[in-house]
Amino acid sequence: MSKIMKMQLKKTGFTLVEVLVASTIGSFVALVAVGSLRVIIVSSEMVDQNINAAAEVRFAANMIARDLVNFYRDENFQNTKFIATVQELDDGSSTSYLVFYALGRTKARAAQPEGDIYEVEYYLTKDEETSALMRRLWPNPSEDIEPGGILSVIAEDIEIFDIRYFDGEEWSEEWTEEMRALPQLAEITLVASSEQGVPPMESVIVNFVRSQGGDETTVGSGGPTGGSQSSGQTSNSGTNTQTGR
């Protein structure tokens, strides 16, 4: 065999260095592709979480506003109930607490007799891992009976539950029984928990002066469907909604 043929045979195929370089480039391209795909998946999950959290705080804020619009009014204010305080949580933070009488025609318990006056209570529970905004609906409230009723979670992973009350001159975080009158305005603010970015927030203002008479069809209702259907009703009954994300 001639020297020229031997040289041609030696040039066929890839050298070890070429194989290693090609493998390194292929591995790098695959690593970049997998990393990009993972970033896209994580970003998509975060967007979905923010959308769900925003919908949840909006639903909860609108439910509180509807209940406040339906506040039970009486010529003798002693026959009504409206108590708003600030409570300390186990983690050292503070949160709003609200309990009042409201009117409603939709029964909370379909199989049991109920009147049209309900005691409604809102408060935030929080521990090391979870937090939730609670709503207690008590049919047939009585001062002679220990408070009870139906307790439900209306929003989870809530970081801030804050309500302020306007008496015509200044805002206050509490409204005691000694006031013997309703505030003119109530501002409800809910902020969801968020590990990254700006947390979803919902702020609703209830005008008690404009909302006299209310809408007596919403107090006993609940669930996401009821929340979305009645958003327009609250806006027409003396509420103003502001959303932040």
**pLDDT 10s digits, 68-82:** 999 999 888 888 999
Q: Name which of 85, 98, 86, 83 is nearest 178 in CA terms.
A: 83
* pLDDT band at residue 145 under the 50/70/90 scheme: confident
**Residue 152 confidence (pLDDT):** 92
**Residue 231 confidence (pLDDT):** 33
Neighbours of 82 (CB within 10 A): 24
DSSP character at residue 129: S
Identity (one letter) of the amino acid at 135?
Answer: R
Q: Which of 17-21, 46-50, 72-76, 83-87 is least confident?
A: 46-50
Interval 26-45: pLDDT, tens:
777 777 777 777 777 666 66
Per-residue pLDDT for 223 more than 50? no
Asked whether the CA dihedral 208, 209, 212, 218 is positive or negative, the reply is negative
How many residues does this entry show for the chain? 245
**Residue 44 confidence (pLDDT):** 63
Q: Helices in the chain by DSSP H: which ranges?
A: 3-11, 16-69, 224-229, 231-235
In this structure, what are the phi and psi dihedrals at residue 186, rounded to the nearest 5 degrees? -135, 125
Mean pLDDT score across all residues of the chain: 78
Tokens read off for 185: 């305005």
Bigger pLDDT: 20 vs 154: 154
SS3 of residue 201 by DSSP: strand
SS3 of residue 144 by DSSP: coil
